Amino acid sequence: MIDIEKLNHTFPFLKELSAADIFDFLKNVQVQQLKPGDIFLETGSQKNNLYFITRGLIRSYYINEKGEEITNRLRYENQLIASYEILFFNQASRFNFQALEHTELLVINFIELRNIIEQNSKLDTGRRFFMMNILSETLTALDDFILLSPEKRYLKFMQQHPELLNRVPHKYIANVLGITPVSLSRIRKRIATRKQ
Amino acid sequence: MIDIEKLNHTFPFLKELSAADIFDFLKNVQVQQLKPGDIFLETGSQKNNLYFITRGLIRSYYINEKGEEITNRLRYENQLIASYEILFFNQASRFNFQALEHTELLVINFIELRNIIEQNSKLDTGRRFFMMNILSETLTALDDFILLSPEKRYLKFMQQHPELLNRVPHKYIANVLGITPVSLSRIRKRIATRKQ
DNA sequence: ATGCGACGATAACAAAAGATAATTACTGTT
DNA sequence: AACAGTAATTATCTTTTGTTATCGTCGCAT
């Protein structure tokens, strides 16, 4: 079932929509169920969708020259996820998107969403809100790489997503922090022994 | 003198403005001259301006717990620079902004700019264009930290801003790359000796 | 229950990076 | 031209990270 509360929080502009518009909006929302391991968007794809995670956990990853998978994002319930290459730059996705748990997605066609927004000019506030959230998060993450050590980035990650440590393989978290899994394991040990 | 060509490239929506609007826009643009070393926006400031660099070079930097300056951005001619904290989040600037050369800025009051945009709804395309440019750049920079080694980040930086190596103290470039100046010097040597 | 595969921890070694200091190179000023 | 101040390089040592491999554990499937 769709949690209107959560949806409203993520898309605050929904409140400003007329009933007809909401109907239009929901008409374009599909629900997709995923099993652990399922890939729902692949490198090279151009599927123009925005995904809202109602349940479960998603990673996006990249395959480097050595054939290794490098995870660059982790997203979970009540978060949005999308290929920014597709949405914002009309390019093919650089990354694969994979469910790590039983996951339920609301699949929102971005072109339809854009049409709805075009027809309701005041909804642009909503779009801006959405983009600013991504921008805020991304700018902060970037500055963290410049200003913080790997260990401090890990501590910050722990604070912000304490649940994830028990839900996500550490090797993925290590990737997101820009370090190797072995190094993350050592950092964890270092912190643990220091605490005593 | 204001280079309308360059201005149009940075603010493509200007082309859609009426003469009156352009006048309004330019009325709110101040020109500011800076000498090397001048700080024109300080940590904690809330000056709501967007700056277009017509000439010169700007760095933004942060002072860490040890009192060291850490440069996190470098911007030069025909680029925009601003405190995102102020512009997008109504917070105080986390960083200082300093000219590294004789620099000329167009100072655009962001509130006035917003008013002009509000009154010309189609100009929102321009705003979106601007935000997407920042977002694109930031997302790419973030993924570079996750996916590339310091050496590869340096090589990419060289490719994208070959001029900067001769204009900017290397220690600032090192900061932007997330490494120490000493380490940058070693990377440069490693690359140089490898080439032969 | 057994076996398989994936994951995390650990070890050992190599490579790279941080910290600090000394030296050299460069710039601008007097 | 000499000097001072700053920046870049180099050197040394320490710390951290990368790489590779091994080992124990856990969960899952047969």
- Summarised one tens digit per residue, pLDDT across range A54-109 is 999 999 999 988 889 999 999 999 999 999 999 988 999 999 999 999 999 999 99
Q: Is residue A8 scored above 80 in pLDDT? A: no
Residue tagged 């400031």 (tokens): B45
Last residue of a domain, one of B140, B164, B183: B140
At residue A195, the pLDDT reads 62
Number of compact structural domains in chain A: 2
The model's pLDDT over B130-139, given as tens digits with 9 standing for 90+, comes to 888 889 999 9
Residues B131 and B165 in one domain: no
Which domain covers residue B179, as residue numbers? 148-196
Amino acid residing at B20: A
Do residues A160 and A138 both lie within one domain? no
Flag whether residue A84 sits within 8 Å of chain B, measured between CB atoms.
yes
CB contact under 8 A, B84 and A176: no
Instruction: For B102-152, write each residue's pLDDT tens digit.
Output: 999 999 998 888 888 877 766 777 778 888 888 999 999 999 999 999 999
- Asked whether the beta carbons of B190 and B151 are under 8 A apart, the reply is yes
What pLDDT is stored for residue B181 in this prediction? 97
A19-27 and A110-119 helices, crossing angle to 10°:
170
Q: Report the residue of chain B nearest A142, measured CA to CA.
A: B142
- Contacting residues of A for B84, CB less than 8 Å apart: 135-136, 139
Residues of chain A contacting B142 with CB distance shorter than 8 Å:
138, 141-142, 145
Provide residues 164-183 of A with CB closer than 7 Å to any strand C atom. Answer: 169-171, 181-182
Asked if strand C comes closer than 7 Å to A161 Cβ, the answer is no
Same domain, A53 and A109: yes
Are B58 and B136 found together in one domain? yes
| Domain co-membership, A70 together with A115 | yes
Among partner residues A84, A124, A128, which is closest to B139 by beta-carbon distance? A84
CATH at A38: 2.60.120.10
Q: Do A132 and B132 touch (CB under 8 A)?
A: no
A146: nearest CB among B70, B131, B135: B70
Q: DSSP labels for B127-186?
A: HHHHHHHHHHHHHHHHHHHHHS-HHHHHHHHHHH-TTHHHHS-HHHHHHHHTS-HHHHHH
Query: What torsion do the CA atoms of B48, B22, A114, A122 make, to the nearest 10 degrees?
Result: 70
Element (H, E) at A17: none
Domain boundary among the residues B114, B140, B166 is at: B140
Phi-psi region of A19 (alpha: psi -120 to 50; beta: other; left: phi over 0): alpha
Co-location of A139 and A158 in the same domain: no
The gap between A174 CA and C3 C1' (Å) is 30
A162 and A117 fall within a common domain: no
A106 and A21 in a single domain? The answer is: yes
Tens-digit pLDDT profile for residues A130-162 = 888 889 999 999 999 999 999 999 999 999 999
To the question of pTM greater than 0.85 for the whole model, the response is yes
Confidence check: pLDDT of B62 > 70: yes
Do both A79 and A152 map to the same domain? Answer: no
Sign of CA dihedral A12, A16, A19, A20: negative
Q: How many CA within 13 A on the CB side of residue B70?
A: 20
Task: Determine whether B27 is exposed, middle or buried from the number of CB atoms within 10 Å of its CB (0-12, 13-18, 19+).
Answer: exposed
Residues B75 and B14 both lie in one domain: yes
Structure tokens at B13: 């929506």
Judgement on whether residues B50 and B114 belong to the same structural domain of the protein: yes
User: Whole-number mean pLDDT of chain A?
Assistant: 89
Mutation target to probe the B interface, by most B beta carbons within 10 A, among A13, A138, A144 is: A138
Residues A165, A107 share a domain: no
